Amino acid sequence: DPVDLAALLELAVTAARAAGQELLQRYGHVEGLATKSTATDPVSDADRASEALLVRMLTQQRPADGLLGEEGASRPSTSGITWVVDPLDGTVNYLYQLDNWAVSVAAQDEAGSVVGVVHDPRRDLTYTAVRGGGARCNGRPLAVNDPVPLDRALLGTGFGYSAERRRRQATVIGGVLPRIRDIRRIGSAALDLCAVAAGTLDAFYEEGIQLWDVAAGGLVATEAGAVVSHLRLTDAPTGYLFAGPALHPDLEAALRAAGS
């Protein structure tokens, strides 16, 4: 059967918004705090409850689909569709009650994301994208800033939790900073990618990003016109640059020069 993209999108939006409600109810009184990959990589009952809710809703509606979640959800697919979810992207912001955090829900097939939804609960903004169908925020179409000259580019970045990788990525950022307008570190890769789509950032670069960080937001950014490339300027297996088509080659060259 052909996949009903509208149905996938509707389910992704409903699930992401429900998870956002769950997170809002727990905001400001975090319980069950623990650490994951490093002492600075947090997880709490909020992340776990949000993932459990997403898994429940997606499984109920589409039991044959696969699942992959940041907090451990994992199920093989027999339908050809796999959901990739980050139940709380921007966990550190959430802990500190900085409002940049989001729920990220993507549906993927063998070629990548077909549907991507990033929900920003504190601002009640829902970013959506369907492969080949453009990107929207609360229904309004999005388009990246383009053309933007390198010396006026506002670059978003983020840092994973490995100390050695942070050191090396900081060198890349330090090298490119004198050549661009400025840097922002919003604290949620999913929201960084939506910011590129909406034109509130000109580009986004990060090393060591996980699939659940980019599966939804990456589709929102590319459907809004961003070009993506795989940089890998540190030891990380993944390193991505997203930017508008005119800026992308110059920024990629500047990052490579800074990283070599």
Structure tokens of 132?
A: 């080949």
For ligand IPD, which stretch binds (CB under 6 A), given 142-150, 185-193, 229-237, 240-248?
A: 185-193
Contacts with ligand IPD, 47-86, as mask; x by CB under 6 A: -----------------------x---------------x
91 binds ligand IPD (CB under 6 A): yes
Structure tokens of 75?
A: 């199920």
Q: Which of 65, 120, 206, 223 binds ligand IPD (CB under 6 A)?
A: 206
Q: Which is nearer to ligand IPD, 35 or 60 (CB)?
A: 35
Smallest separation (angstroms) from ligand IPD to the CB of 86: 5
Q: Which is nearer to ligand IPD, 145 or 169 (CB)?
A: 169
Q: Which of 188, 201, 204, 241 binds ligand IPD (CB under 6 A)?
A: 188
Structure tokens of 198?
A: 């909406």
Q: Are strands 182-184 and 125-130 parallel, antiparallel or unpaired?
A: unpaired
Residues in contact with ligand IPD, counted by CB under 6 A, come to a total of: 14
Q: Which of 84, 193, 209, 247 binds ligand IPD (CB under 6 A)?
A: 209
Taken in order 63, 69, 73, 77, the sign of the CA dihedral is: positive
For ligand IPD, which stretch binds (CB under 6 A), given 1-9, 146-154, 155-163, 242-250?
A: 155-163
For ligand IPD, which stretch binds (CB under 6 A), given 8-16, 139-147, 206-214, 223-231?
A: 206-214
Q: Which is nearer to ligand IPD, 62 or 217 (CB)?
A: 217
Contacts of 93 (CB under 8 A, 6+ apart): 99, 100, 101, 187, 188
Q: Which is nearer to ligand IPD, 250 or 255 (CB)?
A: 255
Binding site for ligand IPD (CB under 6 A): 70, 86, 89-91, 158-160, 187-189, 206, 209, 213
